[in-house]
A and B are shown apart, each in its own frame.
Chain A
Amino acid sequence: MNSLRKTDLIMLVFGVALFIVLQGLITGRILNSFWQLNLIILCINIILSVSLNLINGYTGQFSLGHAGFMAIGAYVSVVLTTNFHWPFLIALLAGGAGAGFLGFLIGLPTLRLYGDYLAIATLGLGEIIRITIMNIEYVGGAAGFMNIPHNTTFTWAFFLMLATLFIIKNFVNSTHGRACIAIRENEIAAEAMGINTTKYKVMAFTIGAGFAGVAGGLFAHCFYIINPTSFTFMQSFNYLIMVVLGGLGSITGSIAGAFAVTFVSAGLASWPEFRMIIYALMLILLMFYRPQGLFGYIEITDFKIFSRFRGGRKS
């Protein structure tokens, strides 16, 4: 069997085993509802950080608008489940498609911008999305959207997270992903190698926005009510912290970053100032001493132990 397929299989077996253990802990009531919710939030945060990493880390297009796309996914899916009684999964995918489509429309003109300009423009777009939602009476305006069915279970969150990881990992390891990475490394050289840089920037942005939409849908169905204030740019900064901490350009890093931020936030929920001061110092110290993040460009599958499992060299 092909060594790439073997790695995928090992990761799948590992993922399912992890799921069985965690689900066992939940069913056996060893994890209380607080930690249950945090496990679900962790899965959602992983989807968000990995998808943001595709844009910011792999493609090198610094976006701060992720919360806006999350909001689109959330609102589209809650309208479909609550008002139209669509099946949950279809509604989530529709939310993702909506967010992805908007990402495409926005990305096309915006991705001509570079670096910090793009950062501020995407931040602004995220806010425009949020403010627009706030002014739509149909979805409850500033008061929020109510009576959302509580559909998001750990199972949904976990397996959608696995699917996200599978798809984004495969994307970055394909010729399309290499095109995105080439853009990050040197846009002029990428173009000279026959890569349509606009197309791939928009593609990464669209895919990233789409997954943010799915995550937004999962997030919304954790609660009875959602509100535009859950999707401010401070949320986008949260995901940025995860990505920067883990490493711009490492999926493993984004998972670790999401893990750290989710549980630090949960642990320090009663001391919000400290939580933010810790993040602030962490960002500054990271940029001083380890700007590539904890994992840099390295993946867990790059470690020796995995090549032993596969019985071959890393490809």
Chain B
Amino acid sequence: MDFMQQLVQQLINGISLGSIYALIALGYTMIYGIIKLINFAHGDIYMVGAYIGYFSITMAHLSIVPSLIISMVVTGLLGMLIERLAYKPLRHAPRISVLITAIGVSFFLEYTSMYFVSPTPRTFPAVFDNIAYHFGPFIINGQQMLIFGITFILMVALTYIVQRTKIGKAMRAVSFDTETAQLMGIDANRIISITFGIGSALAAAGGVLVGVYYNSIDPLMGIMPGLKAFVAAVLGGIGILPGAMVGGLILGVIEALVSGFVSSTFRDAAAFAILILVLLFKPSGIFGKNTREKV
């Protein structure tokens, strides 16, 4: 395989991976945008989503699309429940307290899952015959097509909800200024809850897709993608939806290039290096604006 061909192939792999990061990053960025919380547990919600998808396919013998929907709904509800139990009581606590709580929630999800489903990785069933599509010298396989397709549909749906619906408008209002939004008659608690629901559902979709893509899931699978999705959200500009999408894709591509051309062991380091560079040189991310505390 010559260099150009390999490059394009890595780009395709990168965009597949990046689409999944983007799905998780959207939830991160929505939640950060609305309550300024780095939801450390977001990656674990994605893991739960993958397991729910796994069980609907293997035990309920459903096909991929219904499994995906079930996983998104159940995980979305789980996200809302977590918000209600763990974060809502701390609405006025210092941000570090909430961050520590989120770390606790993350551990809780990881290790209760481990207790119930055992730490051994599970093989995600092949949902359809693995067809490879040839475009000239390049190969896109069925799973990648599925990832592109579903990610695209979900992003269009999310953009529609946020831009066109009443709930979306309320979400934007609350994230802009919670108190004023409340004065305007918006039930901020309800909107925050819905945001957690939507964010978690998107992460669940990412989880199921990752199961389909890599064929293997385990209770700690959410840690790294969770952190990387955060990197993607920061890269795009935290709190900004198109930022999370673009950030996720860029991160996926960079990772694919690093593992393809440098060494796969540096893949994770690349993500963190990007994070640090972005935070130091453009902390507001690609799409963001800079602000400063008023004295």
Contacts and interface: CB of A to CB of B under 8 A. Distances in A.
Nearest to B106: A280
B99 A62 contact: yes
Given A128-B276, A131-B265, A283-B100, 9 more contacts: A113-B283, A115-B99, A120-B38, A124-B231, A277-B111, A279-B107, A281-B108, A287-B100, A288-B90
Interface string A117-143: 101110111011001101100000010
B266 A284 contact: no
B105 A120 contact: no
A194 interface: no
A287 B90 contact: yes
Interface residues of B, number: 45
Interface in B158-184: none
A228 to B, nearest CB: 10
Contacts of B265: 131, 134-135, 142
Contacts of B157: none
A128 B231 CA distance: 14
B96 interface: yes
Contacts of A188: 293, 295
B279 A115 contact: no
Interface of A: 62, 109-110, 112-113, 115-117, 119-121, 123-125, 127-128, 131-132, 134-135, 142, 188, 237, 240, 244, 272-274, 276-277, 279-284, 286-288, 291
Given A117-B279, A188-B295, A277 B93 contact: no
A134 B283 CA distance: 29
* A-B complex: 3 closest residue pairs judged by Cβ atoms: A124-B272, A283-B104, A280-B107
Contacts of A123: 227, 272
Contact of A291 (B38, B97, B112, B273): B97
A291 B107 contact: no
B104 A284 contact: yes
Given A115-B96, A124-B276, A188-B295, A131 B103 contact: no
A273 B283 CA distance: 37
B111 A125 contact: no
B101 A121 contact: no
B108 to A, nearest CB: 4
A273 B269 contact: no
A142 B263 CA distance: 13
B275 interface: yes
B230 interface: yes
B98 interface: yes
Contacts, number: 117
B94 interface: yes
B227 A284 contact: no
B3 interface: no
A159 to B, nearest CB: 32
B98 A120 contact: no
Contacts of B95: 115-116
B108 A277 contact: yes
Contacts of B272: 123-125, 127-128
B89 interface: yes
Contact of A121 (B86, B269, B275): B275
A53 to B, nearest CB: 14
A23 to B, nearest CB: 36
A283 B103 contact: yes
B276 A291 contact: no
A247 to B, nearest CB: 13
A277 B280 contact: no
Residue from A116, A237, A244, A277 whose CB has the most chain B CB atoms within 10 Å: A116
A282 B96 CA distance: 16
A307 to B, nearest CB: 32
A174 B174 CA distance: 45
23 contacts: A112-B280, A120-B234, A120-B275, A124-B272, A124-B273, A128-B273, A131-B265, A135-B266, A142-B265, A240-B103, A244-B100, A273-B112, A273-B114, A277-B107, A277-B111, A277-B115, A279-B104, A279-B107, A281-B108, A282-B104, A288-B101, A291-B93, A291-B97
B83 interface: no
A237 B280 CA distance: 24
Contact of B89 (A128, A135, A273, A288): A288
Contacts of B106: 280
A52 B49 CA distance: 35
Contacts of A113: 279-280, 283
A276 B234 CA distance: 29
B100 A121 contact: no
B206 to A, nearest CB: 19
Contacts of A125: 272, 276
A93 B247 CA distance: 42
A79 B96 CA distance: 38
B48 to A, nearest CB: 15
B218 interface: no
A96 B125 CA distance: 49
B110 interface: yes
Nearest to A64: B103
B163 to A, nearest CB: 28
